[in-house]
Structure 1
Amino acid sequence: MNRGIFNHDIWSDVVKFRIFFYLIGNAVSSKEGIQQDGVHVQQGQYLRSLRNLQDDLAYREGKGNKKKVYPLTTLRRKLKSLENDGEITTKLTDSGTLFTVVNYASYQGLQGSENEIVAQKRHTDGTPTAQKEEPKPKKKRYVYDEKQMALAGLLWKKVKVNVPDMKEPNMESWANTIRLMMQQDKRTGKDIQEVILWATGHEFWHKNILSADKLRKQYDKLSVQMKGEQKGVTSIAKHKQHFGESNGESYDFSKRKAW
């Protein structure tokens, strides 16, 4: 296990850490994957039902050493938190939940461990020699690519026009939120871009969509309203064209025949 895990935020959340560590430890390590209950489980994946996972994570506590389990609501909440952090993804199958550990390879073997392992040489009297303390690896808090950063930059550009005095945000955090929208919420970059342009130019929403987190939270509402208004504009245009109003023409009802 890469020692960088001790510098991760997850280390301070006992339940979340136990779940994550258990998934890593039981994930398929073979590059070819395996067949399990009719499902091809790839490297870094683990197929398990939530009920079985609940039993797997049982623990003993108190004077009576009584066995306890985490409530399913707790498991679901912690798993969702791991998803939101971009550490895992989940997929429901007929045989249970297919868990995928994102960046599985980075947690395995001795990758990057050359700077972490300190060999202890001993003197003839058996006391260990002085050990050189290696600096802790800097944790990469946010994950994103160029396209996601570009969308975050577009959002900031529009927000800055609407709120000139607003302090520049953490763009890496915004880009990471855009990544979660694309990877977990299944939004396309094109759709996100359209919603950004529409919302930041809207009479009401331009005052409310001032961050990537707010964009993600309100995305469904924004998308529905945007499409509704666009559909309405199209209908009005067709209506005008039908009655000869598209070129500034109007129908003179005084010339109509009686019916």
Structure 2
Amino acid sequence: MAGHNKWSKVKRLKAVTDSRKGKVFSRLSREITLAAKTGGGDPDGNARLRTLVIKARDANMPAENVDRAIKKGTGELPGVVFEEIVYEGYGPGGVAFVVQATTDNKTRTAKDVRAAFAKHGGNLASSGAVAFQFLHAGQFLVATEKTTEETLMEFALEAGADDVLTSEQGYEIRCNVHAFDKVAQALELKGLKADSAEIAYIPVSSVTVTDAVIAGSIIKLHDTLEENDDVQAVFSNEAIDDAIAAGT
């Protein structure tokens, strides 16, 4: 499930992309605007923006939407001023959550996130109460059929990655937040398309969930948070067996 298995989450989100295309475009637009605002509007000189433009293309987001979002970030077009906020909380069973949001109204977003936690048996926590249970780092997922571990490790580490982890589902590259752009560029130069590329909160330990009712509440909390237009990403540290998750 989402918290302990990043690959499962990627597949799950891809499955709902079509049914939530409008929300996907809205979130990508906000991220693109922020990336352009902080790093400039030229994708060739802004690896974070380039990664998002590729992600937008993969989601079939219209090119004019991408261009408009970039121009809002560079100030060429008027637009709403967004800011990034990170919320921390605990879900059912003591599962830790980190929620990244991009909003033009902090009061509204905080109210909505707090309500989501309360509705599904959790609670919003103060800043720092949960984040220490996660590694804040760049994370890239690359399917095994795209390259070999030796090749990936060689150029990824040279580009500044800290580690390359291997599993049956694929390779996971981890790097310092400040090395994200260089690793992203290295992947592009090698012609390797990551299945997922983001600055993530990666759990350093997990909470095993065996109760189907608690598992169901955790999954519903994920869904409620991810359906919120202001929420960009949700990270958590639950470990739910696939059989239990499938039955919820």
Question: Could you say whether these structures have the same fold, taking a TM-score greater than 0.5 normalized by the shorter chain as the test?
Answer: no
- Bigger radius of gyration: 1
Per the normalisation by structure 1, the TM-score is 0.24
Q: Relative contact order (C-alpha < 8 Å, sep 6+): which is higher?
A: 2
TM-score calculated relative to the size of structure 2: 0.25
- Relative to its length, the structure with more strand (as a share) is 2
